[in-house]
Amino acid sequence: MKISFRPLLRIFVSGLAAALLARAEVMNTPVPGTTNAPQVEARADEVLKAMDAFYRGLTSLTLDVDVQLHMESEGMKQEIASGWGVALQRPNKLAINYKSGQNQFTFVCDGRLINVFIPMIKKYLEKPAPANLDTLFKEQSEPALLLQQGVPFFASLIAPDPRARLLEDVATVTYAGTEMWQGAACHRLHGAQSQFDWDLWIESGKQPLVRKALMDMGKSARRMAEKVPQMKQALWQIEIQFNQNMVNPTLTDDAFKFAPPATAKKVDSFRPKQNEEESPSPLIGKPAPAFELNLLDGTKLALAKHKDKDVVLLDFWATWCGPCRKSLPILANITEQFKDKGLVFYALNQRENPETIKDFLGKQPFKLTVALDAEGKVGEAYGVDGIPQTVLIDKTGVVRAVHIGYDPAMRVQLVKQIENLLAGPRPTPAGEVKPAKTEQK
């Protein structure tokens, strides 16, 4: 099973459509040293062949797919979960409906049309459906790529040749015995390949359902350490659970309905057009979305209390984000410079628990006022799809600047913008409407 590790990390962090597509497109890039046929133990191959025949023979299937990314680096832990409900009816109906978490996309093929929806960017595609879902594993269209790589391991199960797809880029597969998983006896297989290793729990008996997959991304983390040193000792695993399986149920058309939200925009492609510059943030010149959040110190933050009084600087961040760690000291220093002149700064942490944040801050030489965006709802309201994202709001409550990512030169630009806003109302300069093309996660 081929996968690109860099986009994989970003997909769970930000949920960007571009990351999904990038990950899928790298799938076909040859990996040195992986051209030989995999060495599969006989007992393991018996299990794989039984699983292959079982999934090929299904006429319909429903299940829940729950994915958790576990990462630990430099004493900090991060867990990110995503979930989907899935319905399949051959030859050409499939629904992968986003339920929760950060890896946000929905894929629905009702037999007539394919719709792919990315909630975070509020855009969806609509394409003609193929006569058979197998066609989507032979092409490079955006819906096909998103299906093939959107949910780790899932596409392998509904592909025309599940066994062959699972063995792509695999060097060895061994049989690791039997284990109980959620009340079911399962065969456990271990696969080793160039970028990660995996374990599969496949139910024994007449229904060889895949119940769980565990991807150990340690090999990829060590490769990343060449450019991101903190990844050298990182623990990085992705656990995929396949729950609530119903084999060959009777499904109605309602299982494959897609209705785009009124705010969603229909597009021809999620990819930016060639040479097309990144669009200005839609927040610029508009009232900042109101919110109330708990602060790390136990008090409350209501953005509205600062209207007509203060210039507000917001930064969306997380402890695991390298670029965030670089920008936070700069923002803390700027805050200190303007603290008695009408500037307030809140660091809006994205989806982390208070203990993790306190542990991180306890090791830093600077202090922050941290707001807990525990479910990422405020981040969604501010269009955050990569962090850090820094937002500057004037005294009237209008957004005047948005900076995405980290740039060593950001201090000079931010100081100038803050000084101008503290001096009084003014029109929005053209130079402030474009997000910075800088380092981000």
Please give, one letter per residue, the 3-state secondary structure of 91-118.
Answer: CCEEEEEEEEECCCCEEEECCCEEEEEE
Can you tell me whether residue 376 is helix, strand or coil?
coil
Alpha helices by DSSP H, listed for 116-217, are: 142-149, 154-158, 162-166
pLDDT score, position 185: 96
For the stretch 226-264, pLDDT in tens is 665 666 677 888 999 999 999 999 999 999 999 998 888
The percent of residues above 90 in pLDDT, for the chain, comes to 57
For the stretch 3-15, pLDDT in tens is 533 333 333 333 3
- What are the sequence ranges of the domains in the chain? 5-266, 292-432
Residues in the chain: 441
Are 5-266 and 292-432 in the same CATH fold? no
pLDDT score, position 32: 38
pLDDT score, position 227: 60
pLDDT score, position 226: 65
Alpha helices by DSSP H, listed for 339-375, are: 354-361
Q: How far is CA 27 from CA 90, 149, 153, 157, in A?
A: 25, 9, 13, 17
Q: Which residue has the higher pLDDT, 415 or 120?
A: 415
Please state the rounded mean pLDDT for residues 151-171: 92
pLDDT score, position 256: 98
The overall longest dimension of the chain from CA atoms, in Å, is 76
Q: Which fold has domain 292-432?
A: Glutaredoxin (3.40.30)
pLDDT score, position 75: 67
Q: Which residue has the higher pLDDT, 25 or 257?
A: 257
pLDDT score, position 441: 55
For the stretch 89-131, pLDDT in tens is 999 999 999 888 766 789 999 999 999 998 877 889 999 999 9
Please state the rounded mean pLDDT for residues 410-428: 82
Q: Which fold has domain 5-266?
A: outer membrane lipoprotein receptor (LolB), chain A (2.50.20)
In this predicted structure, the answer to whether residue 212 has a pLDDT above a threshold of 50 is: yes
Can you tell me whether residue 208 is helix, strand or coil?
coil
Please state the rounded mean pLDDT for residues 136-164: 89
| Least confident segment among 123-137, 175-189, 214-228, 387-401 | 214-228
For the stretch 33-64, pLDDT in tens is 344 689 999 999 999 999 999 999 999 999 99
pLDDT score, position 88: 98
Amino acid at 191: G
In this predicted structure, the answer to whether residue 276 has a pLDDT above a threshold of 70 is: no
Model-level pTM greater than 0.85?
A: no
| Least confident segment among 265-269, 273-277, 321-325, 335-339 | 273-277
The mean of the pLDDT values for the chain is 84
Check whether the bond before 91 is cis (ω within 30° of 0). yes
Q: How far is CA 209 from CA 160, 168, 187, 248, in A?
A: 16, 20, 10, 13
pLDDT band at 408 (very low <50, low <70, confident <90, very high): confident
Please state the rounded mean pLDDT for residues 396-403: 94
Please state the rounded mean pLDDT for residues 163-179: 94
Cα 258 to chain centroid, rounded: 22
Given a contact cutoff of 8 angstroms between Cβ atoms, the answer to whether 40 and 48 are in contact is: yes
For the stretch 71-88, pLDDT in tens is 777 666 777 788 999 999
Given a contact cutoff of 8 angstroms between Cβ atoms, the answer to whether 124 and 116 are in contact is: yes
pLDDT score, position 351: 87
Q: What is the crossing angle of helices 142-149 and 17-26, to 10°?
A: 80
**Which secondary structure element, helix H or strand E, spans residue 125, and what is its range?**
strand 123-128
In this predicted structure, the answer to whether residue 206 has a pLDDT above a threshold of 50 is: yes
Please state the rounded mean pLDDT for residues 13-37: 40
In this predicted structure, the answer to whether residue 429 has a pLDDT above a threshold of 60 is: no
pLDDT band at 379 (very low <50, low <70, confident <90, very high): very high
Question: How many alpha carbons lie under 13 Å from residue 218 in its C-beta half-sphere?
Answer: 7
pLDDT band at 20 (very low <50, low <70, confident <90, very high): very low
pLDDT score, position 24: 37
264 Cβ contact partners less than 8 Å away, ≥ 6 residues apart: 117, 122, 123, 124
In this predicted structure, the answer to whether residue 275 has a pLDDT above a threshold of 70 is: no
Please state the rounded mean pLDDT for residues 393-402: 94
pLDDT score, position 2: 54
Please state the rounded mean pLDDT for residues 348-362: 91
